[in-house]
Structure 1
Amino acid sequence: MDTHLLSQAESIQDHLQLIEHELSDFLDFTSVDKILDESKDVEINFIQTIFKEFRYIAVYSGEGKKAINRILMDQRIEETLVDKVYKGIYFKCVNEFFSPHHEVWYEDSRASYRNKFSIDFYTKPGMLIEDTIKKIEPSFHHIRDQLDYLDLS
């Protein structure tokens, strides 16, 4: 495998690992009740939906990480297969993060001009959730930047 492709695959895998780890830790050690105790104004359905999105993203990140691991184990993988795996990661992980199926947050495309994180919530979800998003967002930006060369039509 080309050294550039190898380093790119390892980098994406590392970021997917970080995302999966952060979300798994959050989901393992945080409850909906804990969030509701912290943020009295938030509706339970909203928090449950955020947890559901976090579960999807954690699973998709784990799947992407495993797919890249299979690529890394075989040194003679074709570039078309790598692109197929990357497209899957882009559509399942990156798109799900920046445009979640259940619209609980959205990407503020002007955030970089104001030196702030790009994910905004429709309702304030509490600091535990906001901190988790802030931990994983840079990895999603990195993965998206790494995959911007793909023809994603």
Structure 2
Amino acid sequence: MGNTIVKSQTEQAKIFLEKTVEQLSTYLNETTITSLLDEHTSEKDYFKEVLATLRKLTVYCEEGLDACQVILKNDPFRKSAAEQTLYRIYHQCIEEFFNPKSDIWYENSRSAYTGKNAIIFRQPTPHSLNELIVSLEASFQTIREELDYYETDYRTKIIQSK
């Protein structure tokens, strides 16, 4: 890929991550397990895991944002560093959003056909949490499509260069 395409993708990822970190941080700063239980009666341990997963996602997004900012400030633009960062963003942020390691929610692979939201929680959740995930989902889907190259082709390129 050319420098301009990779730089453009890095700028898009930076904007996406800024918005995502803002939304996640705001939610996490204003939400407690008690407030979630007040909104919806469910298992306390499930809400602990949900909040822990959101915190982990926030950290991954903050790290990706920091990396994008550093790469975009560098002159000349370092394409290889940007590609590596975009690869990491794809695998840490996007994959963690759609398929968290904690398995607290999962992606409905049929959502594209049904027109419904892609994220399905393992247990019933409060309205505020559903709203957060729905508000994030479209931008995660968009950036996933934009960075899809880093899922397969970039990894192949790295393996072949060894």
TM-score range, shorter chain: over 0.9
1:53 corresponding residue in structure 2: 53
TM-score norm. by structure 1 comes to: 0.93
Q: Which amino acid in the other structure matches residue 25 of structure 2? A: S
- Report deviation, 1:30: 1.1
Task: Give 1 or 2: higher helix fraction.
Answer: 2
- Describe how 1:3-152 pairs up with structure 2 within 5 A: 3-40=4-41, 42-150=42-150, 151=153, 152=155
Q: Deviations over 1:69-100 (max 9, x none)?
A: 11110132332211111111111111111111
SS at match of 1:102: coil
What is the distance in 1 between the residues matched to 2:91 and 2:7?
21
Q: Which amino acid in the other structure matches residue 94 of structure 1? A: I
Q: More deviation in 26-35 or 74-83?
A: 74-83
What is the distance in 2 between the residues matched to 1:80 and 1:5?
9
SS at match of 1:120: strand
Unpaired runs of 5+ in structure 2? 157-162
Would you identify which runs of 4 or more consecutive aligned residues in structure 1 move more than 4 Å?
none
Aligned 8 A contact 1:16 1:139 in 2: no
